[in-house]
Amino acid sequence: MKFCNSLLSMVYLTSLYVFTCETKIFHPKHCQRAQLEKNTEDLYNKTVSFKRLFPKDNITDIQLLTKQLKEDFMAQKNCNLRNNLLSFYINTFLENTLVKEKAKKFKIIDKLMVIQDLLLHCKKSHCDQKETESKSFRELKKKTCQIHGKRVLWKAISEMDILVEWIQEYIEEML
């Protein structure tokens, strides 16, 4: 009897956690364009306010999000690039200790992760199965190493609205 009560308690607590945890969203395994559009627009609005919390980017001779990277991002077959770019932004810039608390306050990381998950379920059959990194993505990583200290964070955050615009454009054009 004690075992059954313990088991029921565990099941109850687990289900309570699953159904109340805000960051753990379970999505069906099909494309949800309306959800994607809503989350992306919300992320864009949050990004505009989020950017105001950080120093202005004064590095004008380097652009992280280049035209070539955008072309690669927009290519229908490059699901891995889109996924890797969003992960790179989250892990390298938004999870940084200087940025993380503010990003959490605006739920930027959560929104990006939801969008990343939703994108994975759209046009999956057209994805290139190769795991090779594009030249443009390698160049982005190289550029982030060239900018020292906090300045790389301010640069990446200043270009975040561009990244969100790419996602919006991808949704409009490709899905």
CATH of the domain at 106: 1.20.1250.10
- Side-chain-side CA neighbours of 21 within 13 Å: the count stands at 11
Query: How many Å apart are CA 26 and CA 105, to the nearest integer?
Result: 22
Q: Is 105 inside a domain boundary?
A: yes
Q: Is 17 inside a domain boundary?
A: no
- Looking at residue 108, what is its pLDDT? 97
Per-residue pLDDT of the chain (175 residues; tens, 9 = 90+): 554 454 444 444 444 444 434 444 444 567 888 999 999 999 999 999 999 999 999 998 999 999 999 999 998 788 889 999 999 999 999 999 999 999 999 999 999 999 999 998 876 656 776 767 889 999 999 999 999 999 999 999 999 999 999 999 999 987 6
Q: Is 109 inside a domain boundary?
A: yes
| Structural domain count of the chain | 1
Q: Is 55 inside a domain boundary?
A: yes
Apex CA 103: angle with CA 23 and CA 139, to 5°? 105
- Looking at residue 62, what is its pLDDT? 94
Q: Which domain holds residue 140?
A: 28-174
Distances (CA, A) of 57 to 142, 151, 163: 18, 7, 16
Structure tokens at 38: 């809503």
Q: Is 111 inside a domain boundary?
A: yes
Q: Is 8 inside a domain boundary?
A: no
Query: Does residue 123 come out as left (phi exceeding 0), alpha (psi in the -120 to 50 range) or beta?
Result: left
Q: Is 116 inside a domain boundary?
A: yes
Instruction: Identify the burial level of 119 via C-beta atoms within 10 angstroms of its C-beta, where 0-12 means exposed, 13-18 middle and 19 or more buried.
Output: buried
Q: Is 53 inside a domain boundary?
A: yes
